[in-house]
Amino acid sequence: MRNKEIANLLKTYASLLAIKGENFFKVRAYQEAGRVLENLPTPIEKLIKEGYDLTQFEGIGKDLAKTVEEIVTTSTFKKLEEIKKEYPLSLLELLEIEGLGAKRVNRLYKKLKISSKQQLCQEVKNLSTLEGFGKKLQQKILQYCQEGVGSKKFLWAEAKEYLQELQEYLLKIDPKKLSVAGSFRRKKEVVGDIDLLASKDNFQEVIKHFIQYPKIKKVLGAGETKASVILEGGLKVDLRSVEEESFGAALQYFTGSKAHNVKIRKIAQEQGLKVNEYGVFKKDKKVAGKEEEEVYKILGLCWIEPELREDRGEIEACKENKLPKLITTKDLQGDLHLHTNWSDGRHSLLEMAKAGKELGYSYLAITDHSKRLTIANGLDEKRLLKQIEEIKRLNEELKGFTLLTGMEVDILEDGSLDLKDEVLKELDVVVISLHYKFNLSKKRQTLRVLKAFDNPYVNIFAHPTARRINLRPPVEIDLEKVFLEAKERNIALEINSQPDRLDLDDKSILLAKKIGAKMVINSDAHNIYALDYIEYGVNQARRGWCEKTEIINTLKLKDLKTFLRSRG
């Protein structure tokens, strides 16, 4: 079994425990174990066969180690099978709906016997009888039901893992060309399915090889030019045959978005041309299509990055030669939000520093949690001062790399901060964030954040809407007002790279860019492996039209320190 599959079993069990109403710490233990295991670079199966003691990993105790060994050696998880008899797996579908947490799902199941999305939509009229299901939430659920039930969405990061393994498998038969298209190529934060395009003289060989992929749950269809399957885990994949001479046109067409392509076709029609998945045609003569760039060039357009193809002005910007030069991971000089084993992280200060240096960074900011977050072993003023001294000592040893002192400080309900100013002023970076009281009114939540901005030591506002994709909706907050104040005060807005956060979202990033607020792309890593999550934040920034100059952690250390000291 893959690490991801084992981790998913642990997370599934944790979700069912949460629905059941089990102790929070027990739920968190299984969640954290899942997170640790999915980020391990070495297959867990290999470690167990070699007799490795899994309790050496932080967060894995003796009982959890036995559970993981049971899963690997027997391919079963008895505790999960037992709880499934009481709480069916279909309940997890309900957690994907905005506004439905574990407690509300429990009420749905216990009071109305609702255990699936389909049943929920049949019982919408009865939701008013349940505590916590106000008119606003009922309306959200009704809207969800009207838009269609059963379309499971996968985080981009989840889909990537499935896709990488499948592509490696398909490349074994050496197709002339193989490419992913659709929303995955546009790097949308969630995807419903995967579109693959392949070119090979004998396409039946590709189809045959494809449907024999060992991790297919169900083959939906396999014809001469297309095959569709459902992978284990539920991700749908379509594989299409494309002639090499038409590959560029097909890639452009199937990448989308639909709105972008409608405009492309209109431009073509105005020039007496026709664009489809087979190429660009002038009457019956094909004039372009082998390469994607040709499709745009023949229409008098520049090539447009896939992330921008959402009909948000990209075609007009192209015509005016005003398309942004999108940021890349290579532009980043460091990461300004991460956690160590001083709070709820898994690795030491030195281990995080070494991992950052290996990634080519010149700096990392250590931003462990503040004291209010007791469940995360948050630091009080005394422990923080001790950590500052330890970081200073380490910086004397590190060559060509710097650890910045920092803290992720909770914004309290009244807008004050969780640590005293006399300690905050000693830090290089102060990150503030919302970790509780998500249900305040829009006015109160906005005032809460703006009051926190009054603190002269604040540098970064982390995951500004506090959303968790498919788990927790964004808080009600006036983002335009917050962004304007952030610009005035030189506070950077975070694009958080955690796969289920990606907060800010792309539309909010566009708004921040329009206002002129500075942003920062951070991993929010809790272990050395999660530093790689930065890729997902960069994806999000690119969808928000971000350039290098708009992101503060593209600055060299000297210039970054100047920005951090330049509170408006």
Q: 353 and 273, same structural domain?
A: no
Together in a domain, 213 and 283: no
266 shares a domain with 168: no
- If we measure between CA atoms, which residue out of 399, 329, 336 comes closest to residue 364? 336
Report the C-alpha gap between 207 and 229 in whole angstroms: 11
Same domain, 221 and 277: no
Question: Does some domain include residue 295?
Answer: yes
Please indicate, yes or no, whether residues 159 and 122 belong to a single structural domain of this protein.
no
Query: How many whole angstroms separate alpha carbon 133 and alpha carbon 141?
Result: 10
- CATH number, domain with residue 267: 3.30.210.10
Query: 467 in a domain, yes or no?
Result: yes
Report the C-alpha gap between 154 and 169 in whole angstroms.
21
Kindly indicate the confidence band of residue 376, based on its pLDDT and cuts at 50, 70 and 90.
Answer: confident
Averaged pLDDT, 128-136? 87
pLDDT, one tens digit per residue, over 482-525 is 999 999 999 999 999 999 999 999 999 999 999 999 999 999 99
Say what the pLDDT of residue 290 is: 95
Question: What are the backbone angles phi and psi of residue 243, rounded to the nearest 5°?
Answer: -65, 145
Q: Whole-model pTM above 0.85?
A: no
Task: In whole angstroms, give the CA distance from residue 371 to residue 373.
Answer: 5
Nearest to 170 by CA among 103, 126, 229, 117: 229
Helix axes 381-397, 349-358, angle to 10 degrees: 50
Q: Is the domain of 524 the same as that of 458?
A: yes
Specify whether 116 is located in the same domain as 174. Answer: no
b/e burial code for range 84-114 (CB count within 10 A of at least 16 → b): beebeeebbbbbbbbbbbbebbbbbbeeeeb
Please indicate, yes or no, if residue 79 is contained in any of the structural domains: yes
Using omega within 30 degrees of 0 as the cis cutoff, is the peptide bond preceding 257 cis?
yes
Average pLDDT over residues 378-382: 92
Give the CATH number for residue 75.
1.10.150.110
Here the tokens at position 509 are 């990033």
Q: Whose CA is closest to 245, among 176, 193, 180?
A: 176
568 pLDDT exceeds 70?
A: no
Both 292 and 276 in one domain: the answer is yes
187 inside domain: yes
CATH number of the domain at 556, please.
Answer: 3.20.20.140
Residue 114 lies in a domain: yes
Q: Say whether pLDDT at 150 is over 50.
A: no
Question: Which tens digit of pLDDT belongs to each residue from 193-234?
Answer: 999 999 998 999 999 999 999 999 999 999 999 999 999 888
Q: How many structural domains comprise the chain?
A: 4
Q: Which of 221, 242, 263 is the last residue of a domain?
A: 242
Whether the per-residue pLDDT at 474 is higher than 80: the answer is yes
Same domain, yes or no, for 237 and 250?
no
- Final residue of a domain: which of 242, 268, 297? 242
> 97, 132, 147: which is the final residue of a domain?
147
Q: Are residues 344 and 412 located together in one domain of the fold?
A: yes
- Together in a domain, 498 and 375: yes
Q: Answer whether 312's CB lies under 8 Å from 496's CB.
A: no
Residue range of the domain that includes 230: 154-242
Asked whether residue 324 is assigned to any structural domain, the reply reads no
User: Is 197 in the same domain as 313?
Assistant: no
Q: Write out the two tokens for 35.
A: 């997170």
| Higher pLDDT pick, 458 / 37 | 458
